Amino acid sequence: MMVHGESSVLVDTNVVSYIMREDIRAKFYVPHLKGKLLAISFITVGEMFYGAIKKRWGEQKRKNLEDTLRKFVVIPYDKEIAWCYARVVTERERKGRPIDLHDAWIAACALRHGISIVTHNASDFEDITGLQIITECQRP
């Protein structure tokens, strides 16, 4: 399955979390997700698992998490993503806007595959050359 172009989007961790929790903010992203191949970064999987462990989720909530994650194509690490990551981190440092390293990996996955990122934290991804951001962050 190819993750590329306008028919695919990379969904940021916060939007995956909204979908899973049926948070009211999830509904604002449905139009951006409908009919698209939905991808997430390997970093998002780790961030979601971290949240489950930190919050001491029980077996049922962990099962629901895994069921939710199966709805997405997981973009794995590759050498090109690593090069994109290095470029993102360097570019933001040179602009005086260091980036959280998890966000840099997520952005690198989107850049590597030429797909937009759907996020509620658009400011985390600003000033990255070539990255297309889809957001509804002006909403509650």
Taking the model in full, what pTM does it have? 0.92
CA–CA distances in Å: residue 32 to residues 26, 133, 139: 11, 11, 14
Range of the structural domain that residue 108 is part of: 5-134
CATH code for the domain in which residue 128 is found: 3.40.50.1010
> Is residue 2 scored above 90 in pLDDT?
no
How, if at all, do strands 37-41 and 8-11 pair? parallel
33 within domain boundaries: yes
In a domain, 32, yes or no: yes
Please report whether residue 35 resides in a domain.
yes
Q: For residue 139, is it within any domain? A: no
- Is 9 part of a structural domain of the chain? yes
pLDDT at residue 125 greater than cutoff 70: yes
Task: Let me know if residue 93 belongs to a domain.
Answer: yes
The per-residue pLDDT for range 15-51, each reduced to its tens digit, is 999 999 999 999 999 999 999 999 999 999 999 999 9
Residue 119 lies in a domain: yes
- 60 located within any domain: yes
